[in-house]
Amino acid sequence: MKIVFYGANATTFLPGLSDLLAPPHEITSVPDAVDRIAQDALNAADVVVGVHFKSPVTARNAQLFQLPAAGYDQVAFDALPATCKVCNAFGHENAIAEYVMSALLSRHVPLATADAQLRAGTWNFWAGAGPTALRTELGAQSIGIIGHGHIGQAVAERAAAFGMAVHVANRSPVTGERYTAVYGLDELNNMLSAVDIVVNTLPLTPSTVSLIDGSAFTAMQRHCVFLNVGRGGVVDEDALYDALADKTIGGAIIDTWYSYPTDTSTPHRPATRRFEELPNIVMTPHMSGWTSGTIARRQATIADNIARLAEGRPLINQLN
């Protein structure tokens, strides 16, 4: 089969893939900027691996468009052949759950601050310093998770292990005695008002665009910490900025954004509003799921689906 990795992000998953496939396969890569040679390669491909695909780019022979990622909002399905199957890949949930817990723990266990102070001879967090040295505990917090997919479930499992009260809001019904409460998305504001921490894990779809808006932030408690590890567009940009600037909420940790660079060597701001000027936000560059473990797990999914296609077996994670 002819397999083409389309774009810089997809090409990250290429090294070592051939070792997971039974030969023969012809594997090549093409850049994000499609020239005539790249277009010819895409049109000849049986399988295209990529995170984006839109007209006027074509892949006339493609039987499978395989995303090496979960999100598919950058793929125009109607630009692909009608018979082409579109599948995504997960495997990022463990990495993202670790990011979430690390970000939250850092607010209760200030290791870097304590280290810097002790190096200067200051013992601010010492038990001998008395009541002013007391820290808070993450396990005493309640957490509300928006979305109960791969990421939401992984975050919930780890939060429960810390002893946190776990609330979940999801479009479809959720069962499980381990949760303090479950809500439908139509009851979202009820959950937001009941928890100390809110984590969005939802993908961007027509039904989730700006789902978390001004009314959602108003429903949150004033000390609430908001994390976004889903898609940026699920959260209304102006509403998030205003909630932080006006201190409607206590703070935010944001990993997914509204604008991304095409060239990482050039400075690029992630939003229209100047979040970088706010003191109550931690900003990271969409790094939460990007680990060697994620790459390996997604490579396994890509190889599995290529093998399934070659053997005429049902594909996994098919979207269309």
- Per-residue b/e over 247-273, b at no fewer than 16 CB within 10 Å? ebbbbbbbbbbbeeeeeeeeeeebbeb
Residue 152's pLDDT is: 97
Asked if residue 73 lies in contact with residue 232, where contact means CB atoms within 8 angstroms, the answer is no
Among residues 73, 91, 97, 297, which one has the least CA distance to residue 203? 73
Q: Do domains 2-91+292-311 and 93-283 have the same CATH topology?
A: yes
Q: Give the C-alpha separation, 41 to 164, whole Å.
A: 51
Cβ–Cβ under 8 Å, residues 204 and 238: no
Contacts of 153 (CB under 8 A, 6+ apart): 93
Domain ranges of the chain: 2-91+292-311, 93-283
Cis peptide, bond prior to residue 56, ω within 30 of zero: yes
Total-model pTM: 0.91
Give Rg (Cα) of the chain.
22
What the block records as the tokens of 148 is 């109960």
DSSP letters along 28-58, please?
EEE-SS--HHHHHHHHH-SEEEES-B-TT--
SS (H, E, C) 131-145: HHHCCCCHHHCEEEE
What pLDDT is recorded for position 177?
A: 77
Find tokens 């995504």 and name the residue. 88
Show the tokens assigned to 170: 């999801």
CATH topology classification for 2-91+292-311: Rossmann fold (3.40.50)
CATH superfamily name and code, 93-283: NAD(P)-binding Rossmann-like Domain (3.40.50.720)
Secondary structure class of 253 (helix, strand, coil): strand
CA dist., res. 163 & res. 144, Å (int): 14
List the chain residues with pLDDT less than 50. Answer: none
Would you state the pLDDT for residue 231?
95
pLDDT of residue 121: 97
Going edge to edge, which strands form the sheet with 2-6? 26-30, 2-6, 47-50, 64-66, 85-87
Amino acid at position 152, single letter: G
Q: Which amino acid would we find at residue 133?
A: A
